[in-house]
Structure 1
């Protein structure tokens, strides 16, 4: 039970600080404690991503933030020069992912891929989808399924290796 709670804490930290991955902890916990890999895999990180999603969504709709963002009048933009026009063109790879995330069905598939494989980064997808019309329960369920797949496979690695 302590290993599962510790995996939850490490996963929550990992959700907010991407440079503290939960994967090494999961492998070490399964190899040293004998805790079922499924329990450890499910305990890690999903709660943190849902908090990021809901927090970002709340921040976007916050009246206080809207007042702060719209307080200052913006100066009229200058027409872009040649270099500005070239840089403003959407790049094929990035523009395609953004278009996919704007469609509900494709966004759910991209979220599942991101949660399971880590590509594109789940933190970025979570923040981006907070502005999309995705229901929070769909986000939570899809993220949970993808993270469960990822972390259970990672947690099973020591047993598959014979440890």
Structure 2
């Protein structure tokens, strides 16, 4: 239970601080708790923690878009055109938005930190954002835990 809670906490911190990679933690944690059941439960803990951290980035961007600073930046024609292009792509297309977010969450391309902020800026529906990020991160981290377990044992 302590390893599960630690994994959850480290995953939140890693999601908030890009210089703290969760993958490095997984190398050590997977070595201490072998087996498929442990890999799955730790993958879920890591996915849940990462989702919470990315919700914070999402919310910061969503609330910050209405700030004077952001509005000043959006006044620039090139920035405004790019923003409007992404709004047009994402609005009313939850499958498209979810696909891009899932790719970012599971593979890391585009980077999930950036996509969480973009999701917030574009006011992506939370009912799309949360399960997509959770599923993508859980798959990614579970596969990493399983890979380390397979390599070591």
- Aligned ranges 1:119-138 → 2 under 5 Å: 119-138=109-128
Q: Distance in 2 between matches of 1:57 and 1:121?
A: 18
Q: How does 1:1-163 map to 2 (within 5 A)?
A: 1-34=1-34, 36-44=38-46, 45-61=50-66, 65-66=67-68, 98=86, 101=90, 103-163=93-153
**TM-score normalised by structure 2 residue count:** 0.77
Matches of 1:26 and 1:40, distance apart in 2:
9
Shift of 1:69: 5.7
Residues 62, 122 of structure 2: 8 Å contact kept: no
Structure 1: distance between partners of 2:52 and 2:71: 32
Residue segments in structure 2 that go unaligned for 5+ positions in a row:
none
| Cα deviations by residue, 1:63-121 (Å, 9 ceiling, x for unpaired) | xx34x6669xx9xx9xxxxxxxxxx6xxxxx99x9575564321210100010000100
Distance in 2 between residues matched to 1:57 and 1:159, nearest whole Å: 39
- 2 CA distance for matches of 1:159 and 1:145? 21
Structure with max Cα Rg: 1
Distance 1:111 1:24 in 2: 23
| More moved, 40-49 vs 110-119 | 40-49
Higher helix share: 2
| Distance in 2 separating the partners of 1:121 and 1:49 | 11
Alignment coverage as a number of residue pairs? 139
